[in-house]
Amino acid sequence: MKTFRPSTIMAALMASGLAYVSQPIYAQEAESEENTPDEEVIERIEVRGFSTSLIQSLNQKRFGDTVSEQISADDLGGLPDVSMADALTRLPGISAVRTGGQAAEINIRGLAGDFVFSTLNGREQVSTSGSRAIEFDQYPSELINSAAVYKSPKASLIEGGVAGTVELQTASPLAIEEQHKFSANIRGMYNDRASEIPDAEEYGHRVSFSYQGKFMDDTVGVSLGYARLYQPSVSTQFVGLAYNGEVDVDGVEGDMDNVGSDCPECELISEGFEMQHKGGEETRDGYMAAFEWAPVENFTLKADAFVSKFDSEAFARGYRVKLGGVNAGITNPVVVNNSVVGGTFTRTDNSFTRVELVNDDNQDFDQVESYGIKADWQITDNLAAQFDVSLSKAESNFRNGLLWSLVSEDADAASPTFDENVQISYLLNGLNLPDLAFNQADAFSDVDRVMVSKYGIYPYENEDELNAYRVDFQYYVDMPLFSSWEFGYRYSDRDYSNDRSVFEFGNDGGFSASQPPLRLTQDMVDVVNWSGDFGYFPSYLSVDLDSALNAWFPGGIPQPAQTWGPGAAGVINGPGTGPATAWSVQESGDVFETVNAAYLMANINTEIGDIPVSGNVGVRYVRSKQRSTTLQRATRFVTDPETGTSVEVSDPTAGAQNITDEVGLINNFYRPTILSHEFTDILPSINLNFKLTDATQLRVAAAKVMGRAPINRFAANSSTNVEEVAATMDRDSGEVTLSNPTAKINGSARNSPYLDPFYATQYDVSWEYYFQDTDGALIVAAFYKDIESFIENIAIEPYDFEGNGFTVPSEIEVPVFLEPEFSGQEPELARDANGDPIFVSVPTENGRYETAINNAEGGYIRGVEVAYTQIYSMLPGIWSGLGVSASYSYTESEIQRTLSDGVFSSRLPGLSENVATVTLFWEYEGFETRVSGRYRDAFVSEQVAVNDQTVNFDDELVIDYQASYEINDNMSVLFQVNNVTDEPTKSYFTSPEQTGTIQFFGTQYFLGMTYTL
């Protein structure tokens, strides 16, 4: 059997110091006279600490067979990071997107999380996000023993990582040196910005326990771990809203700056902006267990489980400014790069200019589970096999609740009216806070003026489950070129479901007569003042959600439901009026994915001249099938004999069925069906490692890689709608006025089960030099990825709906309402002489259709990475424990894409041209201290406002500090500071003058102790 060269590996391990961790060292001094000749004096030296982790990681990288990065912990609980997201960002070419101030999604080599594939103990993991990208803050670092990032693939790795594959590993109890190991970590936490936010939590904690033990002559091993995180989640933020309006505010003759628009003389106007205090708490409970049984020398059976529950409850309070669009009165506009970044906006009869006081309440309950059983059998000296069965589950229940208030003229009036005297003056200052002024500012904190006008709750529930079965074989040979052959097969079956529901009451644009606003009382509210950098913002009323809802709904607070809504087309048993919420039915559904994969790989161990060469070459075959449930329109149009107009009716011959929602409304306009798509891929790969000298090696790799679209993008939720047209009759003349002469037909299928994967051909080269006199390495790597295509949302206007198989009307019947006599009056239908409602016929025309496609435009991503690690053990005395670990990566791409809402960026989502990390550490006689910095320059990701928005983020530098002291062999204390400088996140839309977000999250302080036994 020829698997490796043990002497070479052991020599390298001894040189680097890693062998001292796991191997007994024979004393080099002469035996004392007290020892008999047959006795050996054995001294066991155990090295622990940050430097040891670095050495282990470097050696795992050095002797790996792909281009990879590694993280290794001394033991369970050895990684100090809050989550694995923080830990992974210390590696070259890897950066994180901060959500709520904390790393969650990771980006690899300029590609966003959807391009990153992740496994736990070699098994594919599903996610609570509804996408392929797992949320790494769900994984406590205390329960993970090691992590690897494979930047170049090999055939035996599960396919899916265009950017890279992240492999997390939990403990293997039979691998420990000791018979029993126990560890406990306890840390208190404080956030220094929480005191600025009323009702926000200031203190939190982290607690973890782990045990590993071997029994029955080391044939049975057990690992158990638990980790709890309770932390305040706070931020103070300004959020700009998208530039989605166009109007000519400067009146410059011949102005053509608005390139590519139907209005080239127009300037861009923002929808508005938000100012918010956010607070709440996050609780994460993680559990890990493993049972290992080795009854004979050549067989091991291991069962393991991992569960993580992450619950978040948060509030957002402040105000949301709606500038009013193109119909607002605009004076003194400030225009920069054709964008209106300041001016005075005044409400008009046709605009929606207003200020909404916001009291949002969000709850997010997430859980991931991973279970597996693996058998490892050395069948003969030359043949080995592994059999693995696994289950990965994820559940997410996100409840987005909102309570919005408006300023009234007088809250005590019998019929309160919305104060339409609204004037807003502002000036954005790019990536700094803006100047603001409101004519209603004093009213924002006046309980006699502010009234709650709308309550809404929008649950979003995901379930994702994957069952996988895998068998792998290794056949060892003694050949001049190959050391072994590997082949295997894997089958996976994945089910994803998404359920939407909704409840809405009231109106956010005014006061509804049928759903009147709530009069607030002093016991329901608190006046909130801003402080610090935000101190000049006007005070506002914070509303207690429970008190307000109990007063507004004394008979019980209504609960959300998945419903068509009484106003939806096709409802046969509803009153016919009210909001149409058919989206909650149509956007709910299931996705099914099955994958069959097989691979063949040869491991290389040979020499070219005097240069040893190792690595692998192989091919992976993948057969995928994806299916999605959907509701398709099944109607036809007939002529109404009484009116002579065309009427849409249900068509049972087309499969129409009675579909009942959760509140009992029945819709007969749709037929349920399943759409499916299948494809086959062949993915070759090669990895070669040339050992140029004992200390230097050169790696080269090439592969074709693929990554499937996010699982939620397969949901087939296509729909069409007819634009609403309002018909108003003058009470005196009887003249009918239409809001539009025609009714546009619009549609969307923002997702599609027919989406193909992302494909790329990639090349890697890595030069690695491992220091011989000290511990460390210098590594320089370069990569090139040629990406074939991306998923892109496109819009076609006008779109031939009928020609593409959609059932659409040629005209619609619009009810006529009498012109209101006063603001807030109940709508009143116009009637003919017989008392019947009056309708007018309005012709339809083809409008806009939005859909998702695999575009034909890809491009390259290329870059270089430099990593340097060294422990300066050659320095004298106490300075011998000084060390540094640093990395820098440069990434560029030719790909340019319009992101959303007209936002443009030359960068791909996730791509920062420059990413750098540096950790300076010092260890001496049980004392360790280190300071770390993580820098990434501008990149593209999502910010969350009223809706998700994809924007450009400014560069950021996050600095952390840690110090610890080992009191004795069993106990140590730790002090840690995360985000020392309270680095904010700042974003903008197309250019910096279009302010996106300015968010401050505070600095976190930790103080605690660790006990090991």
Q: Is the pLDDT of residue 587 over 70?
A: yes
Neighbours of 10 (CB within 10 A): 13
Q: Is the pLDDT of residue 44 over 60?
A: no
CA distance 979 to 533: 18
Instruction: Determine which of 16-25, 40-49, 362-371, 610-619 has the lowest per-residue pLDDT on average.
Output: 16-25
The H or E element spanning position 15 is helix 6-16
Residue 364 token pair: 């997010």
pLDDT band for 645, please (50, 70, 90 cuts): low
Residue 473 token pair: 């074989």
Question: If DSSP codes are grouped into helix, strand and coil, which group holds residue 443?
Answer: helix
pLDDT band for 635, please (50, 70, 90 cuts): confident
Its pTM stands at 0.85
Q: Could you please report the per-residue DSSP string of 783-810?
A: EEEEE---EEEEEESS--TGGGT----S
pLDDT at 904: 66
pLDDT band for 79, please (50, 70, 90 cuts): low
Q: Is the pLDDT of residue 758 over 70?
A: yes
Task: Identify each DSSP E strand in 503-654 by its residue range.
Answer: 503-506, 518-519, 525-528, 540-543, 589-608, 611-633, 635-639, 646-650
pLDDT at 33: 41
pLDDT band for 903, please (50, 70, 90 cuts): low
pLDDT at 335: 92
Q: Is the pLDDT of residue 840 over 70?
A: yes
Q: What is the DSSP letter of 444?
A: G
Q: Could you please report the per-residue DSSP string of 276-338?
A: EEEEEEEEEEEEEEEEEEEEETTEEEEEEEEEEEEEEEEEEEEEEEE--GGGSEEEEEEEETT
pLDDT band for 39, please (50, 70, 90 cuts): very low
Instruction: Determine which of 67-71, 591-595, 676-680 has the lowest per-residue pLDDT on average.
Output: 67-71
Q: Which residues contact 167 (CB under 8 A, 6 or more apart)?
A: 118, 119, 120, 122, 147, 148, 149, 150
pLDDT at 17: 38
pLDDT band for 80, please (50, 70, 90 cuts): low
Closest-CA residue to 135 (of 277, 282, 278): 282
> If you compute the radius of gyration of the chain from its CA atoms, what whole number of angstroms results?
32
Beta bridge partners, 303, equal 291, 373
Q: Is the pLDDT of residue 519 over 90?
A: yes
Q: Is the pLDDT of residue 352 over 60?
A: yes
Q: Which residues contact 812 (CB under 8 A, 6 or more apart)?
A: 722, 725, 743, 841, 842, 844
pLDDT at 856: 63
Please say whether the dihedral angle defined by the alpha carbons of residues 827, 830, 835 and 837, taken in this order, is positive or negative.
Answer: negative
Residue 84 token pair: 């694995």
The 10s digit of each residue's pLDDT in 158-208 is 999 888 999 999 989 998 888 999 999 999 999 999 888 888 889 999 999
Q: What are the phi and psi torsion angles at 55 (to 5°)?
A: -65, -45
638-to-568, 647, 743, 846, 850 alpha-carbon distances in Å: 19, 5, 19, 20, 28
Mean pLDDT across the stretch 582-608? 94
Q: Is the pLDDT of residue 824 over 70?
A: no
Average pLDDT for the chain: 86
Q: Is the pLDDT of residue 2 over 60?
A: no
Q: Which residues contact 712 (CB under 8 A, 6 or more apart)?
A: 130, 131, 462, 496, 498, 591, 751
CA distance 489 to 598: 4
Q: Which residues contact 966 (CB under 8 A, 6 or more apart)?
A: 926, 927, 928, 972
Closest-CA residue to 443 (of 318, 537, 540): 540
Q: Is the pLDDT of residue 779 over 60?
A: yes
Q: How many CA atoms lie within 13 A of 1002 on its CB side?
A: 25
Q: Is the pLDDT of residue 221 over 60?
A: yes
Question: If DSSP codes are grouped into helix, strand and coil, which group holds residue 540?
Answer: strand
Q: Which is more confidently placed, 990 or 597?
A: 597
Mean pLDDT across the stretch 536-563? 93
Instruction: Determine which of 88-92, 464-468, 603-607 has the lowest per-residue pLDDT on average.
Output: 88-92
Q: Is the pLDDT of residue 583 over 60?
A: yes
pLDDT at 86: 79
Q: Is the pLDDT of residue 702 over 70?
A: yes
Q: Is the pLDDT of residue 73 over 90?
A: no
510 neighbors 496 (Cβ within 8 angstroms) = no
Closest-CA residue to 657 (of 725, 753, 572): 572
Chain centroid to CA 598: 30
Q: Which residues contact 641 (CB under 8 A, 6 or more apart)?
A: none
CA distance 556 to 552: 9
Per-range mean pLDDT, top range of 240-254, 836-850, 954-968: 954-968
Closest-CA residue to 357 (of 275, 442, 280): 275
pLDDT band for 900, please (50, 70, 90 cuts): low
CA distance 784 to 702: 10
Q: How many CA atoms lie within 13 A of 499 on its CB side?
A: 14
795 neighbors 624 (Cβ within 8 angstroms) = no
Q: Is the pLDDT of residue 769 over 80?
A: yes
Mean pLDDT across the stretch 762-781? 94
Q: Is the pLDDT of residue 35 over 80?
A: no
Mean pLDDT across the stretch 728-745? 89
Place of tokens 């560890």: 183
pLDDT band for 317, please (50, 70, 90 cuts): very high
Q: Is the pLDDT of residue 796 over 90?
A: no
372 neighbors 490 (Cβ within 8 angstroms) = no
The 10s digit of each residue's pLDDT in 1002-1012 is 999 999 999 99
Q: Is the pLDDT of residue 220 over 80?
A: yes
Residue 850 token pair: 């939005």
pLDDT band for 776, please (50, 70, 90 cuts): very high
User: b/e for 486-516, b at 16 or more Cβ within 10 A?
Assistant: bbbebebebbbbbbbbbbbbbbbebbbeeeb
The H or E element spanning position 658 is strand 657-660
167 neighbors 150 (Cβ within 8 angstroms) = yes
Mean pLDDT across the stretch 566-576? 83
Mean pLDDT across the stretch 586-604? 95
